[in-house]
């Protein structure tokens, strides 16, 4: 008996007899509110446990011999596709002009709607040229005589006539695709540099007439992962009554994203600064949009992780236990307050 009594003496949850318990409306109200709060907190903690979080780690970049993918999607509303070229050069000395592998150009009308691609077969080009409007024939004849006098061959003459007509119609161009370049510092730019300088001079008349206004829909250096932010996406640069060269200085940070499923996604993120250099008729270079990039020697690893079940249980006990204790205190306070308010006033009884 002594042992049983000793065990009972350390009971932290003594129970009262049922006939000594009193149930009240205030207690029922507090209990309902407490259950609602505990259910809400439980669902919140469960969602918190099931969601993943990311851990960032940094290390020295040890990759060698890999290529760097550059995803571009840009619109030039004031330049036809025939004059635009994508050129790339890197520190290894590799220089490519007017890249067309994995790069596409879509012709746009003055409202920004697609009207065709630049890549048409020679047959289609000839058919298109044969069906020009009659009211343009006289103008083209005059232009032919002028071009012949300047010594341009037939291909250059056709090119100039086509581009001048496109400029008159307000055509633009959308350039998109993927560039695979060496994993070294370099730059790529979109400009009219692919044209012969005399052809360009004949088309535009001078550097101040080349409008490199552009919209960057997407520029990235690899696949996208959850939460990535490419700072140039949605960039809008429109020039009015001026011309010049845009330069974007980009610092690329190699990145690995490790999913909770252990899948690894190699990609890159970047930061950028921007500079615009206006031009006048005395400049000897043509306006362009440059993207000058360099790679960081540090790679960032982003890992998805999930919180431990023990952490979930600990938080759950703390939240539910605290809510239960608080509702118990609130119930006692409300009961005592109601008891004081409902207790008869002794002075009123004596009177």
pLDDT digits (tens, 9 = 90+) for 173-221: 999 999 888 888 999 999 888 787 888 888 888 888 889 999 999 999 9
If you ran DSSP here, which 8-state letter would residue 344 be given? Answer: P
Boundary of a domain, candidates 296, 316, 338: 296
Q: What is the structure's pLDDT at 151? A: 52
34 shares its domain with 81: no
Q: What is the structure's pLDDT at 265? A: 93
Question: Residue written as tokens 């088309």?
Answer: 203
Boundary of a domain, candidates 271, 296, 321: 296
147 shares its domain with 275: yes
- How far is Cα 332 from Cα 329, in angstroms, rounded to an integer? 5
Region 97-101: mean pLDDT is 69
- Mutual angle of helices 197-204 and 154-168, in 10-degree steps: 30
158 shares its domain with 261: yes
User: Looking at per-residue confidence, does 155 or 272 come out higher?
Assistant: 272
| Residue 149 within any structural domain of the chain | yes
Cα distances (angstroms) measured from residue 144 to each of 41, 80, 137, 199? 80, 21, 10, 14
| Residue 231 within any structural domain of the chain | yes
264 shares its domain with 234: yes
Give Cβ neighbours of residue 198 (< 8 Å, ≥ 6 apart): 150, 152
pLDDT tens, 295-318? 999 999 999 998 888 988 998 888
- How far is Cα 108 from Cα 90, in angstroms, rounded to an integer? 31
| Residue 7 within any structural domain of the chain | no
Residue 10, number of CB atoms within 10 A of its CB = 6
Specify the number of domains making up the chain.
2
| Residue 5 within any structural domain of the chain | no
pLDDT tens, 112-144? 888 866 543 332 333 334 334 344 444 445 545
- Phi and psi at 218, nearest 5°, equal -155, 130
Q: What is the structure's pLDDT at 52? A: 86
| Residue 6 within any structural domain of the chain | no
If you ran DSSP here, which 8-state letter would residue 209 be given? Answer: G
212 shares its domain with 314: no
User: Looking at per-residue confidence, does 98 or 267 come out higher?
Assistant: 267
User: Looking at per-residue confidence, does 241 or 347 come out higher?
Assistant: 241
| Residue 14 within any structural domain of the chain | no
Q: Rounded mean pLDDT of the chain?
A: 80
Count of positions (residues) in the chain: 351
Single out the residue of 106, 276, 126, 79 nearest to residue 175, CA to CA: 106
Q: Report residue 156 as tokens.
A: 């250059």
340 shares its domain with 260: no
Single out the residue of 167, 204, 189, 195 nearest to residue 291, CA to CA: 189
Residue 283, number of CB atoms within 10 A of its CB = 16
Residue 312 is part of which domain span? 22-51+307-350
271 shares its domain with 190: yes
Confidence of residue 230 (pLDDT cuts 50, 70, 90): very high
152 shares its domain with 281: yes
183 shares its domain with 36: no
153 shares its domain with 199: yes
Q: For residue 98, how far is the Cα from the chain centroid?
A: 27
- Integer Rg of the chain from CA: 37
Single out the residue of 46, 34, 35 nearest to residue 315, CA to CA: 46
Q: Report residue 236 as tokens.
A: 């809008």
Cβ pair 231, 274 in contact under 8 A: no
| Residue 123 within any structural domain of the chain | yes
221 shares its domain with 329: no
Q: Report residue 221 as tokens.
A: 């250096």
269 shares its domain with 335: no
| Residue 12 within any structural domain of the chain | no
- How far is Cα 261 from Cα 244, in angstroms, rounded to an integer? 48
Answering whether pTM is above 0.85, one says no
């Amino acid at each position: 008996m002594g042992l049983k009594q000793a065990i009972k003496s350390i009971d932290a949850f003594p129970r009262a007899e049922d006939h000594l318990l009193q149930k009240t409306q205030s207690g029922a109200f507090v209990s309902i509110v407490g259950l609602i709060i505990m259910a809400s907190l439980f669902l919140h903690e469960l969602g918190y446990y099931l969601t993943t979080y990311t851990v960032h780690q940094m290390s020295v970049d040890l990759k060698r011999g890999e290529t760097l993918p550059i995803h571009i999607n840009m619109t030039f509303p004031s330049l036809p596709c025939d004059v635009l070229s994508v050129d790339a050069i890197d520190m290894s000395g590799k220089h490519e002009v007017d890249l067309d592998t994995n790069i596409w150009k879509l012709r746009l009308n003055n409202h920004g709607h697609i009207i065709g691609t630049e890549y048409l077969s020679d047959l289609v080009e000839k058919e298109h040229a044969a069906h020009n409007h009659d009211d343009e024939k006289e103008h083209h004849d005059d232009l032919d005589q002028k071009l012949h006098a300047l010594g341009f061959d037939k291909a250059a003459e056709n090119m100039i006539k086509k581009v001048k007509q496109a400029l008159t119609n307000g055509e633009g161009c959308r350039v998109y695709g993927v560039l695979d370049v060496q994993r070294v510092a370099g730059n790529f730019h979109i400009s009219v540099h692919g044209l012969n300088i005399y052809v360009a001079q004949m088309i535009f008349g001078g550097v101040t007439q080349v409008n490199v206004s552009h919209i960057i829909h997407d520029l990235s250096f690899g696949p996208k992962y959850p939460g990535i932010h490419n700072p140039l996406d949605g960039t809008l640069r429109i020039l009015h009554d001026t011309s010049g060269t845009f330069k974007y200085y980009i610092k690329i940070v190699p990145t690995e994203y490790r999913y909770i499923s252990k899948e690894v996604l190699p990609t890159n993120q970047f930061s950028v600064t921007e500079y615009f250099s206006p031009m006048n008729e005395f400049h000897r270079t043509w306006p362009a949009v440059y993207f000058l990039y360099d790679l960081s020697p540090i790679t960032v690893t982003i890992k998805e992780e999930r919180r431990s079940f023990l952490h979930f249980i600990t938080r759950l006990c703390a939240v539910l236990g605290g809510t239960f204790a608080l509702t118990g205190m609130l119930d006692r306070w409300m009961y005592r307050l109601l008891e004081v308010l409902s207790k008869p006033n002794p002075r009123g009884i004596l009177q």
